[in-house]
Structure 1
Amino acid sequence: MNDILPILLSILAALVVLGGLIPVLMKTRKNITRYPGTRDANDPVQPRGGSTAVEDRPGSVADRTAPDGADLEGLETTEVPDNAAGLEVIPVETPLPVAGRLVRLRERLVRSNNVMGKGLLALLSSDKIDENVWDEVEETLLLADLGTEPTMQLVDALRERVKVLGTRTPEQVKLLLREELIKLVDPTMDRTLNVQRHADRPAVMMVVGVNGVGKTTTVGKLARVLVAEDKDVLLGAADTFRAAAAEQLATWGQRVGVPTVKSDIDGADPASVAYEAVKAGIDQEVDVVMIDTAGRLQNKVGLMDELRKVKRVVEKLAEVDEVLLVLDATTGQNGLNQARVFSEVVNITGIVLTKLDGTAKGGIVVAIQKALGVPVKLIGLGEGADDLAPFEVEGFVDALLN
């Protein structure tokens, strides 16, 4: 009997670990509540029999049909654990202050593979500016993904100013080019993140985009920005299709002491997880709830309908204050097509532009804003945890012109 007891204790310990009972380090005022299967009549997330796991393959996600958008009764009940199973306990980090991020990002942009500003300065400083030079200016701007209409607008303005200026020193050329680029990028747009807590509820933010642009990483980095601003944050892992997405998000949260609401069921209903995250945020009186969503191709109607439903279900509890679309700057005009579709589905309020340091196509900032009337609010210039910061018009243009 004495020999059997240690064996039984070892088996029990293994089952505890497999059951996902390793607690997450949390910064919020209360522990995350495990929500019961029985709900009140006003809860739109009603039980549904069964749950189908979805493998992490493009075909499985693309072929998934969205729940009926006409009502909310088809949503699954999601068991939300108050832990992050399998995650190692790691020290809580202190994120870099926002001011320090901006300095680093400007330095990285100056050193990046950007030829737009340099090319324009070289062309406009020529001894003779004829039609051939202006053609090269247009070509440079179009290759930088500025877009046809903004390109013509900038060229016309430069033509007029160069004609009036007469003689041109490099300093004069750089000054006029800076002024015109700042006008084009538009400093009048409101780039403030809507993350101020309301009187009775937290601010709610959704992060959307296609597969592979780095949404989960962006949510994690943005959580660091908000923590650096002394905000109480809660993350919602509504990307339930990609393997280990919830654990990845929870790891980002752990690093800055931010909890994550997630489901341990593969292929769980993303709308249900998002709902529970907002409900937990209200219960815990946090400042901001950030919801990570699954990547989806903009031409897949069923998946876009599902994204629309996630937003609608969340709004049963609280208004969605911010919908950020994450775009890869290296995709150029294809990113613009993505932005149009997502904007129609969930009313985009801001753009997060990643990988801006690896491309010469900084003009995509202007093209997206012109097409949608939506500002670029955040930019990422690297893989580091603190390589995400608010977008600054003058800082961006100065970095382009080196």
Structure 2
Amino acid sequence: MIKGLFQRIGGLGGRRLDDDLLDELEEGLILSDVSVSTASGLIADLREGARRGQIATDEAARDFLKKRVIEHLGAQTAALHFNPNGVTVWLFIGVNGVGKTTSIGKMAHRLKDEGHTPLLAAGDTFRAAATEQLQEWGRRAGVPVVTGQQGADPAAVVFDALCAARARGCDIVLVDTAGRLHNKSNLMNELAKIARVIERETGRAPDETLLVIDATTGQNGLAQARAFSESAPLSGLILTKWDGTAKGGIILTVARETGVPVKLLGVGEKADEICDFDAKEWTETMFS
């Protein structure tokens, strides 16, 4: 894990920053799911600092890397956006199996606890299990769920959900979507149609378009982020299954190479096990 790498940096007893140590650090970053591009960039900066005499020891390298990681992740926590003048709409996208529906259920639970009145839209009409799972989360959270027939037009389900939210006085709609990347053209058209319905009905684009990524999938998560960014303008990332088995590098890689901030971490299966992502806190933990 990346945490172990950073712990090793702190335990080298003042070892000088020579080529062998730099190579060791670069290899460790890559093994921790930091992409080759991101790892090479960090090490190149370290080499330049060492050449100028600014970074001479492992302790200085540690401080430098901490600063750089926070810069890449964004020094400030990226807040979730709400519509102050009407119904808020958050669109959740991602491939099947990453924990998308679970993330929606967790956020419904959290939002209700915070005093919001959420409504869930079962926009993945191609998998009956997805609708059933969302309904179960809605039942557990005491939140209404709008569904359609299997194979129905997802945009029509979203339209019905927006109408239902207005009729019931709900202040936020969380939209589940299908995740069939193998049929990218249809997926892009489907997401675009959903976005048009949301904009037509609310007068604005979705307040959040959140890509859900399984943190244990390594570099495949970066490939998914790049593919989905071509299908919809992403506003934030949710990394799921962050329960200690994931390697930390994927967070740094996806945020740096897509420019999309990480906003939430799913850290378990329970309803309350989702938290805001704090770059400084995460970095301090990784270097502790």
TM-score computed with the length of structure 2 as normaliser: 0.88
Residue aligning to 1:272: 156
Aligned CA distance change for structure 1 residues 323 and 340 (closer, same or farther; 3 Å): same
Amino acid at match of 2:4: V
Aligned-residue offset at 1:305 = 1.9
- C-alpha contact 1:236 1:290 (8 A) present in aligned 2: yes
4+ residue stretches of structure 1 with deviation over 6 A?
none
Residue aligning to 1:117: 6
Aligned CA distance change for structure 1 residues 310 and 114 (closer, same or farther; 3 Å): same
Residue aligning to 2:54: 164
For 1:83-122, what per-residue CA distance to the aligned partner results, in whole angstroms no more than 9, with x for missing partners?
xxxxxxxxxxxxxxxxxxxxxxxxxxxxx88433224434
Amino acid at match of 1:223: A
| Matching residue within 154, 158, 176 for 2:42 | 154
- C-alpha contact 1:350 1:377 (8 A) present in aligned 2: yes
Name the larger-Rg structure: 1
Residue aligning to 2:109: 224
Q: Is 1:377 the counterpart of 2:275 in the alignment?
A: no
Aligned counterparts of 2:214 and 2:265: Cα–Cα separation in 1: 10
Residue aligning to 1:239: 124
- 3-state DSSP of counterpart to 2:98: coil
Aligned CA distance change for structure 1 residues 360 and 238 (closer, same or farther; 3 Å): closer
Identity, % of aligned positions: 43
Residue aligning to 2:177: 293
Aligned-residue offset at 1:356 = 2.4
Aligned counterparts of 2:32 and 2:220: Cα–Cα separation in 1: 13
- C-alpha contact 2:158 2:194 (8 A) present in aligned 1: yes
- 3-state DSSP of counterpart to 2:209: strand
TM-score computed with the length of structure 1 as normaliser: 0.65
For 1:289-344, what per-residue CA distance to the aligned partner results, in whole angstroms no more than 9, with x for missing partners?
11111221255322332222222223221221111000011222221111112112
Aligned CA distance change for structure 1 residues 217 and 360 (closer, same or farther; 3 Å): closer
Aligned CA distance change for structure 1 residues 272 and 134 (closer, same or farther; 3 Å): same
For 1:211-248, what per-residue CA distance to the aligned partner results, in whole angstroms no more than 9, with x for missing partners?
11111101001112212321111111111121232232
Amino acid at match of 1:193: L
- C-alpha contact 2:87 2:166 (8 A) present in aligned 1: yes
For 1:242-294, what per-residue CA distance to the aligned partner results, in whole angstroms no more than 9, with x for missing partners?
1232232122122222111112x222221111111011112223221111112
Aligned counterparts of 1:177 and 1:307: Cα–Cα separation in 2: 38
Alignment of 1:159-238 (within 5 A): 159=47, 160=49, 163-164=53-54, 166=56, 174-188=62-76, 191-195=78-82, 197-199=83-85, 201-238=86-123
Amino acid at match of 1:343: S
| Matching residue within 113, 119, 139 for 2:27 | 139
List runs of 5+ in structure 2 lacking aligned partners: none
Aligned CA distance change for structure 1 residues 116 and 127 (closer, same or farther; 3 Å): closer
Aligned CA distance change for structure 1 residues 177 and 336 (closer, same or farther; 3 Å): closer
Amino acid at match of 2:267: L
When you count helix as a share of all residues, which structure comes out higher?
Answer: 2
| Matching residue within 229, 236, 248 for 1:343 | 229
Give the total of aligned pairs: 284
Aligned CA distance change for structure 1 residues 305 and 116 (closer, same or farther; 3 Å): farther
List runs of 5+ in structure 1 lacking aligned partners: 1-111
Q: Is 1:254 the counterpart of 2:139 in the alignment?
A: yes
Aligned counterparts of 1:400 and 1:167: Cα–Cα separation in 2: 19
Give the CA RMSD over aligned residues: 2.4
